[in-house]
């Protein structure tokens, strides 16, 4: 299967996915990496692994819809089977979601539906929870609202900072995301309403 990764920043989850492909844990390939940030280190990670790296400047388009249409066209041209968001900091518009419904994944640093949006780790600390974690989910039109694929809890310690909690969550993310991608590739995921089921048949 052909994977496309959309990333806006450092790309640590992208690296975890590339490494999982290299180890044979993901039986697909990252065909392209697309970023809305020219200096995103994720693009450099792609180049180092001989993966197509594309920067698309949102300012080159008259609006969000046209920008998303350009991304959708790229994804279709490259015959992408699964779109993977890895620190992509923009909401996808319906033009992409409708063309790839049930074929777009995201990972979020909280146990959704708790603490959606930006700074999930900071939200968890500010709220005072004792357990946080991460969630891999399919993307729909909402903000971190799509059907949950996998979740894993991470303890919150009394002396945690945002950085230390985020680092602990990241370690789990780097293991969980490749697992969810491989389940998709193996055809073991199905969506019914709000729920995602794992089919082992």
Task: Tell which residue, 4, 173, 172, 164, has the closest CA to residue 73.
Answer: 4
Does residue 143 contact residue 122 with C-beta atoms inside 8 Å? no
Does residue 46 contact residue 33 with C-beta atoms inside 8 Å? yes
Residue 69 DSSP class: H
Please report the DSSP string for 165-196 in residue order. HHHHHHHHHHHHHHHHHHHHHTT-EEEETTEE
Q: What are phi and psi of 108, to 5 degrees?
A: -130, 140
Distance CA(195)–CA(201), nearest Å, equals 18
Catalytic member of 108, 137, 166, 174: 108
Catalytic residue list contains 166: no
Distance CA(8)–CA(106), nearest Å, equals 13
C-beta pairs of 91-94 under 8 Å, 24+ apart in sequence: 91/143, 92/68, 92/139, 93/64, 93/65, 93/68, 94/141
Distance CA(31)–CA(1), nearest Å, equals 9
Q: Which residues are catalytic?
A: 108
């Amino acid at each position: 299967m052909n994977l496309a990764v959309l990333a806006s920043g450092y790309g640590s989850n992208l690296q975890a996915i590339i490494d999982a492909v290299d180890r044979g844990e993901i039986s697909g390939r990252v065909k392209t990496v697309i970023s809305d940030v020219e200096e995103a280190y994720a693009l450099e990670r792609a180049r180092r692994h001989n993966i197509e790296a594309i920067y698309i400047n949102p300012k080159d388009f008259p609006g969000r819809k046209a920008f998303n249409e350009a991304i959708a066209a790229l994804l279709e041209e490259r015959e992408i089977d699964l779109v993977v968001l890895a620190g992509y900091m923009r909401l996808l518009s319906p033009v992409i979601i409708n063309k790839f419904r049930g074929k777009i994944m995201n990972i979020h640093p909280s146990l959704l539906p708790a603490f959606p949006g930006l700074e999930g780790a900071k939200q968890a600390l500010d709220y005072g929870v004792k357990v946080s974690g991460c969630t891999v989910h399919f993307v729909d039109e909402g903000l971190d609202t799509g059907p949950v694929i996998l979740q894993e809890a991470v303890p919150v310690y009394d002396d945690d900072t945002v950085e230390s909690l985020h680092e602990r969550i990241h370690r789990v993310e780097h293991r969980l995301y490749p697992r969810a991608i491989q389940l998709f590739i193996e055809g073991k995921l199905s969506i019914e309403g709000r729920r995602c089921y794992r089919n082992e048949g």
